[in-house]
Amino acid sequence: MANFILEQCSSLNTFTVNFGTVTPTTGETYSFSDGLTGETICGTVLSLSFPSPTTYSAMTLYDNCHECIIDIPRSANTEENICLEICGPSGNTVTSVPSPHPVWTDNYGTEVTQLNAITLGGQNGLNN
């Protein structure tokens, strides 16, 4: 298992990424994800890294940063959880309920999920 240093496509931040048995070439662009948060990031390989713990794993090879960035599922704002209080004879319980979010298309044709809003009515809405 080899770790490499990648520079994020949208900033100058660097990350140590685990490539498993794959040996990337300097200058190649990959999407990689954080095993703790699930966040997906695009970056370009800079160099081999000294063995060190990392939560990032390489996922997909792309031709360039632009192709990688427009392919990543995107969302806007912070997800809001809906809590439902259920009143029963043995007391009240609170449970989190998944909610449908509106999806719109950006200027690159990439779907963006609006996490701080809820879809009302219509297909896939709360009134279904």
Q: What is the pTM of this model?
A: 0.56
* Euclidean distance between CA atoms 43 and 62, whole angstroms: 10
Tens digits of residue pLDDT in 4-24 = 999 998 888 898 888 888 889
Give per-residue pLDDT as tens, 47-82. Answer: 988 777 788 888 889 999 888 887 776 666 666 666
Length of the chain: 128
Confirm if 39 and 58 have CB atoms less than 8 A apart.
no
Mean pLDDT of 83-105: 75
Please give the pLDDT value at position 46.
Answer: 94
Torsion of CA 66, 67, 68, 72, to 10 degrees: 110
Contact between 28 and 54 (Cβ < 8 Å): no
Q: Which of 85, 68, 73 is nearest to 110 (CA)?
A: 73
Cβ atoms of 104 and 112 within 8 Å: the answer is yes
Read off the tokens for 106.
């950006």
